[in-house]
Structure 1
Amino acid sequence: MVPEEKWPVLLGHEQVLIWLRMLDDLGRAPRTLDAYTRGLAEFLSACDRDGVDPLTATRADIAGYVRELRQRPSRRGGNVVALDSGAGLANATIQQRLVPVRLFYDFLVEEGLRQANPVGRGRHTPNRGRGGSERGLVPRLRTLPWIPSDDQWNAILLVTSKERIRNRLMLALGYDAALRREELCSLRTDDLDPAHRTLRVRAETTKNRRERVVPYSAPTGVLLSQYLAHRATLSRARGPLFLSESRRNPGQPLTLWTWSKVVHRIAQDAGVPGFSTHTTRHLCLTDLARMGWELHAIATFAGHRNTDSTLDYIHLSGRDLADKLSRGMKHIHAWRVEHLTAADTGLAP
């Protein structure tokens, strides 16, 4: 059920509650429902504060809400060091805040309670790129995913080597199989196939509800064997693979938040604050691209519906591009010198 107790602002907006309960009845993922609820509660609070009826809100009212998000004090401080940092929420965060608002107005339009969606999805702009482009209410900034340098990765590995076997295995699997945080924490003992060194990522744990089977390396297989022996001391029952070892709830399934805290602590101890639970996925997909994997193969491995999503994750570092340029220039240089020498001697190359 929708937690009205947690978000009392919802109680005064019947249509919002109807929509959220409908999503709950349709089986939307709990985390998705919670994110939508939180986003709408924030929007409704802004409407109540400004005296705006959300059912009749105009595009100008939505723009005012966006302005408030852009000017909201950031936890990162007031010094603007990048386009989407400093005062105000990051561009990606603003996009996330607008998603449930846009979807709610889609519902109102479908129910005949509104004629148009004030948020919208942008307008088609012909002759811009291949097949045109979409310009939304707030321009979407495309930034490259961050991946650690070799020195930063080695610092992470040094700290991780002192961690308990569970944490070392989770980082290894997160990298080997390019797993998202929820996919990793939701693994069960019967998802593993040690004989073939593969694991099944169940559809209900994935972002796009598509199941896939991915391999893991032999060294990770050794860690897995060691962890399974250790896990048997906590619980011999089949079920969630990764268990809590805290005094408060030993043997219980490890939560997403606990894993995030573990990775955050490792990152701080290693002096690499940018490292997160998603970094291993970024790094794995980038390494596959470096090894020459085809884009479609990487998309299948990552569980993406199309290669456009894969391109957002894969990028070569400046050093990689510099190396490619250097190798290419050496080849061109040798080719030109060969021709110049042949011209000087009167010989064809």
Structure 2
Amino acid sequence: MSISNLTTTTNTLAQTLDVHQITPEYFIRHYAEFISRVIAKGNPSEDTMRHYCNQIDFFVRWCLSHERSPLAMNEYQIIMYREFLLNRQYKAESIQIMLAAVRAFYAAAKKVELIKVNPATNVEAPYASNNGESMLHFYTLQQMNEIVHVFDEDTDSFTRTRNKLILYLMGVEGLRNIEIHRACVEDINWEATAILIRGKGAKGRTEFIYPCKETFELLEAYLKAIPTNHKIKKDGVLTPLILSSSNRNFMGRISRNGIRSIMNNALEACNLKHPGYSCHVFRHSCGTNLYKETKDLRLVQDILRHRDPKVTARYAHLTDHLTKRYTSKLVPHD
């Protein structure tokens, strides 16, 4: 059952219940309907719901494996869960996401008066490293070319051009995974050679980007390669741009996990997949390589659409850090 169907079903059930009739057992079984009202300002996307539910399912299984009721946990026990995640060597960013889902679970339980205090409120993820080494995850232009060649080996023109387009949108134009996932054919302005980007967040900020000639040529080639013997699954009135080739959702909007899978398979094929690397590394690669070539932070800020220039400044710090490290290897030491 999809998240949207699950939410619809539990909505129907809960509408007949008074808040005082909701039992802990009922809440745990149907938490998806309740958390939808406390995340993303009460209007989460299906993809957001799926991510939250995956993390909450993981937490609930952990509680039950330790013979603890999820709704009877206290702050100290949530800290133990955090330690469990640390011992499993999850990254600080991942732990932050997982704890946010747990907080949402308890926030919803508090709303329906099953608990009085959210035990996860003050349990935070460890601070992510903010030094130069934390930004060293990026691919050079040469490595990006290696990944492109992996896609070139695909004999199917539809999947070949689609996968190359995803790489270009991330590694050349600096788009995020979710922005590629949300892209629609109607967002393309052919006269202005521009694409309207639907940003992150529940509503998503919209703004235009102006891709380079090669990206736009690849976009055209991809659209021509889409099979015409299958109808594209519309998303309301909009036409998804990046389409799935899986049997379960053929010609429907590709999922964020589908995008990750495509890129991970390519990275593994050219031995560039490393622990901790996600699709976001391509966006970092765009910013890093662009700054190395131009030394223009304002240009990098515009391309990556950063509101805060301090965020963009990380790419200058990274480049300086790498330059110093490389130079130190050339300088003889006494």
- TM-score after normalising by structure 1: 0.67
Counterpart in 1 of 2:46? 30
User: 2:290 aligned with 1:288, yes or no?
Assistant: yes
2:197 aligned partner, one-letter code = V
Q: 1:280, 1:14 → 2: CA distance?
A: 38
User: 2:224 aligned with 1:229, yes or no?
Assistant: yes
Counterpart in 2 of 1:118? 119
2:264 aligned partner, one-letter code = H
CA positional deviation for 1:249: 6.0
1:159 aligned partner, one-letter code = V
Q: 2:315, 2:229 → 1: CA distance?
A: 37
TM-superposition CA deviations, 1:172-197 (whole Å, max 9, x none): 22223211123213322111123222
User: 2:150 aligned with 1:159, yes or no?
Assistant: yes
Given that 1:186 and 1:240 are in contact with CA atoms closer than 8 Å, whether structure 2 keeps it comes out as yes
Q: Greater CA deviation, 254-263 or 174-183?
A: 254-263
1:70 aligned partner, one-letter code = L
Q: 1:208 to 1:246 in 2, by over 3 A?
A: closer
Counterpart in 2 of 1:138? 126
2:204 aligned partner, one-letter code = R
Q: 1:195, 1:246 → 2: CA distance?
A: 33
1:288 aligned partner, one-letter code = L
Q: 1:208 to 1:312 in 2, by over 3 A?
A: farther
SS at match of 2:135: coil
Given that 2:38 and 2:107 are in contact with CA atoms closer than 8 Å, whether structure 1 keeps it comes out as no
1:13 aligned partner, one-letter code = I
Equivalent positions of 1:284-323 (< 5 A) are: 284-290=286-292, 291-294=294-297, 298-307=300-309, 309-310=311-312, 315-316=318-319, 318-321=321-324
TM-superposition CA deviations, 1:152-185 (whole Å, max 9, x none): 3332233233342222222222223211123213
Equivalent positions of 1:162-201 (< 5 A) are: 162-163=153-154, 164-201=160-197
Equivalent positions of 1:1-349 (< 5 A) are: 3=6, 11=26, 13=28, 16=31, 19-23=34-38, 26-72=42-88, 88-107=89-108, 116-121=117-122, 136=124, 138-142=126-130, 143-144=134-135, 146-163=137-154, 164-203=160-199, 209-231=204-226, 233=228, 239-245=239-245, 251-274=251-274, 276-290=278-292, 291-294=294-297, 298-307=300-309, 309-310=311-312, 315-316=318-319, 318-321=321-324
Given that 1:62 and 1:118 are in contact with CA atoms closer than 8 Å, whether structure 2 keeps it comes out as yes
Q: Greater CA deviation, 173-182 or 19-28?
A: 19-28
CA positional deviation for 1:60: 1.4
Q: 1:156 to 1:111 in 2, by over 3 A?
A: same
SS at match of 1:288: helix
| RMSD after superposition | 4.0
Given that 1:199 and 1:215 are in contact with CA atoms closer than 8 Å, whether structure 2 keeps it comes out as yes
The share of aligned pairs that are identical, in percent, is: 20
Q: Greater CA deviation, 148-157 or 219-228?
A: 148-157
TM-superposition CA deviations, 1:85-137 (whole Å, max 9, x none): xxx43333222221122234445667776665433357xxxxxxxxxxxxx46
Given that 1:174 and 1:180 are in contact with CA atoms closer than 8 Å, whether structure 2 keeps it comes out as yes
1:289 aligned partner, one-letter code = Y
Q: Which has the higher contact order (CA 8 A, sep 6+)?
A: 2
CA positional deviation for 1:214: 0.9
Given that 1:52 and 1:61 are in contact with CA atoms closer than 8 Å, whether structure 2 keeps it comes out as no
SS at match of 2:319: coil
CA positional deviation for 1:146: 0.7
Q: 1:220 to 1:17 in 2, by over 3 A?
A: closer
Given that 1:10 and 1:16 are in contact with CA atoms closer than 8 Å, whether structure 2 keeps it comes out as no
Q: Which has the larger radius of gyration?
A: 1
Q: 1:154 to 1:68 in 2, by over 3 A?
A: same
Given that 1:200 and 1:212 are in contact with CA atoms closer than 8 Å, whether structure 2 keeps it comes out as yes
Given that 1:2 and 1:20 are in contact with CA atoms closer than 8 Å, whether structure 2 keeps it comes out as no
Where does structure 2 lack aligned partners over 5 or more consecutive residues? 10-23, 155-159, 233-237, 330-334
2:184 aligned partner, one-letter code = R
Q: 1:264, 1:15 → 2: CA distance?
A: 33
- TM-score after normalising by structure 2: 0.70
Q: 1:303 to 1:19 in 2, by over 3 A?
A: farther
Where does structure 1 lack aligned partners over 5 or more consecutive residues? 73-87, 123-135, 327-349
CA positional deviation for 1:18: 6.0
Q: Number of aligned pairs?
A: 294
Q: 1:13 to 1:185 in 2, by over 3 A?
A: closer
1:198 aligned partner, one-letter code = A
